Homo-oligomer: A and B are copies of this chain.
Amino acid sequence: MATILKRWVRQRRLWVALTLLVIGMVPSGMALGQEAPSAESVATAVNYVWVMTAAILVFFMQAGFALLEAGSTRSRNAGSVFMKNLMDFCMCGLAFWAFGFAIMFGGTGLAPGLEAGNSIVGTSGFLLSGEAGSTDTALLWFFQMVFAATAATIVSGALAERTRLDAYMAYSFLISAIIYPVYGHWVWGGGWLAELGAWDFAGSGVVHAVGGVAAFVGAKMVGPRKGKFAGDGTPRSIPGHNMGYIVIGTMILFVGWFGFNPGSTLNGNDPQIAVIAVNTFLAGIAGGVVAYYVQLVRTGKADIPVTCSGIIAGLVGITAPCAFVDNWAALVIGGIAGGLVILGAGFLERRLGVDDPVWAIACHGICGLWGLLALGIFANGEYLEVAGLITGSTDTFVAQLVSMVTVVAWTGLASVLIFGFIKATIGLRVSEADEDAGVDSTEFTQPGYVFETVSN
């Protein structure tokens, strides 16, 4: 009885505390016997709220990728495309929890539990255990995990319609555990590229070029879809099945990018977030408008997938330099990306014989590299004193070139090894019969679509 009474008393005390806490009638912590809020504590709270909001927006991009990729492929494989976009962040989450985060941020001292490490690879924070389970580390982990998941999911589009689900899941785990965090450590984890003066504000290189280069290796190793190339190597068009999915996917990605880029301040008290948002928007629309008109001139018709690729290309291109450039430069960077993605996709398909159903390699790989370069050219020397060629400084430009070579070399090499390992063990590609039938009807319990009501 005394126990019950004590429990009630304790519960009531907590209830009163919670009551006072709610909606800030008493500032956080006070009711529980902690200190009154200070400007410092509230500034930290603003950072938490901002980083959380941004991370949630970035996570929402998973739905954008899923729709964009599914719409760009044939309906017989739609379920498979959606499923891959779902499973990759599941695998990435586990990998980044167990290994990736520690490799990337161990040693940065950015948060408790990340104390050891060196300029090559992080060595603390595995399994988010011990001190790494603190609130500050949790915030950093959550934000960085959704970025890792973006890099992982980029690969799925390039491999669509002929890759085994289990092989793709294995790759998702390994890119998130090893490939992504190592280069990430070099640039964002205080590694040797950061020491060299290479910059990448929100991840044109760390996220998009890594994803794009891995997608290139994967698409090359798994080979083109059956029927994509004629006997003489001439590419054939395989139209996607749903333009609406492509547009809505692009819009969702655009929305998410406002978490991706402005959120990368990791700081809600930094008014630069507004400049970053404007630059992000302008580069995205410039990419779309340029791609739209280029394709209109080439074909005489409006092309939804190409226009959407132009928008994504512009967004990828501005991701590295978004905080460092003037808004006119954002338009230039995005516009160039919008042309580059068409050139690049044509080159990949016609010259290199790569079949990439969603232009992931051109959008994320090529324009990711362009973003790193553009930073070295257009950085205006104001924010964090990062200065590109237009200020007369060559230091950053040179460091960016080194970073570009590095991301291609590292991601390319590591991807060859990992895809090779998967090919030798699980196998990369579905059988020809399965590909003909569509993987939805062979690898999955149910078809992607079952329509009963089709009229007219």
**A268 contact from B3, B45, B76, Cβ within 8 A:** B45
> Known pairs A55-B258, A86-B307. 4 more at Cβ < 8 A?
A21-B266, A24-B43, A243-B447, A244-B449
Give the number of copies in the complex: 3
Separation of A75 and B438 alpha carbons in the complex (Å): 21
Chosen A-B contacts, 6 in total, with CB atoms closer than 8 Å, are A10-B197, A36-B40, A55-B277, A56-B255, A244-B448, A302-B445
| Complex contacts, A91 vs chain B, CB 8 Å | 289
Complex alpha-carbon distance, A274 and B23, angstroms: 11
* Interface presence of A425 (CB below 8 A): no
Whole-angstrom distance between the Cβ of A90 and the nearest chain B Cβ: 4
Q: How far is the CA of A47 from the CA of B51 in the complex (A)?
A: 15
> How many interface residues does A have (CB within 8 Å)?
158
Contacts of A46 in B (CB 8 A): 24, 42, 45-46, 49, 268
Query: Shortest beta-carbon distance, A171 to chain B, in Å?
Result: 15
Distance in Å: Cβ of A240 to nearest Cβ of chain B:
7
Are B63's CB and A44's CB within 8 A?
no
Do most interface residues of chain A lie in helix, strand or loop, or is the interface mixed? helix
Complex interface: chain B residues within 8 A of A57 (CB): 56
List the 8 shortest-distance A-B pairs measured between CB atoms, nearest first. Answer: A28-B269, A24-B44, A139-B274, A135-B271, A79-B243, A24-B47, A82-B247, A138-B274
Interface with B: A140-148, A215-223, A227-235, A349-357, which one? A140-148
Q: Let me know if A307 and B83 touch, CB within 8 A.
A: yes
Contact stretch, chosen from A106-114, A202-210, A339-347, A366-374? A106-114
Question: Is residue A278 contacting chain B, with contact meaning CB distance below 8 A?
Answer: yes
The docked-state distance in angstroms from the alpha carbon of A311 to that of B129 is: 23
Given contacts A93-B281, A266-B22, A288-B90, whether A139 and B328 have CB atoms under 8 Å apart is no
Judge whether A391 is part of the interface by a CB distance below 8 angstroms.
Answer: no
CB distance from A157 to the nearest CB of B (A): 15
A273 at the interface (CB under 8 A from B): yes
- Contact residues in B for A70 (Cβ distance below 8 Å): 244
User: Does A419 touch B at the CB level, under 8 Å?
Assistant: no
- In angstroms, Cα B47 to Cα A273, docked, is 12
A297 within 8 A of partner (CB):
no
Contact with B along A270-305 (1 / 0, CB 8 A): 111111011001100110110010010001011111
Considering only residues 32-52 of chain A, those with a C-beta below 8 Å from chain B are 32, 36-52
CA distance in complex: A52, B54 (Å): 10
Interface residues of A in 103-122 (CB under 8 A from B): 108-111
Please tell me if A1 contacts chain B, counting CB pairs below 8 Å.
no
Shortest Cβ gap from A404 to chain B (Å): 17
Q: Does A151 contact B (CB under 8 A)?
A: no
Q: Does B446 lie within 8 Å of A45, measured CB to CB?
A: no
Whether B24 contacts A328 by the Cβ 8 Å rule is no
Q: Residue among A46, A245, A246, A308 with the most chain B CB within 10 A?
A: A46
Encode contact with B along A9-25: 1 for CB under 8 Å, 0 otherwise: 01110110011011111
Across the interface, name the chain B residue whose C-beta is closest to A268: B49
Nearest Cβ in chain B — how far from A125, in angstroms? 12
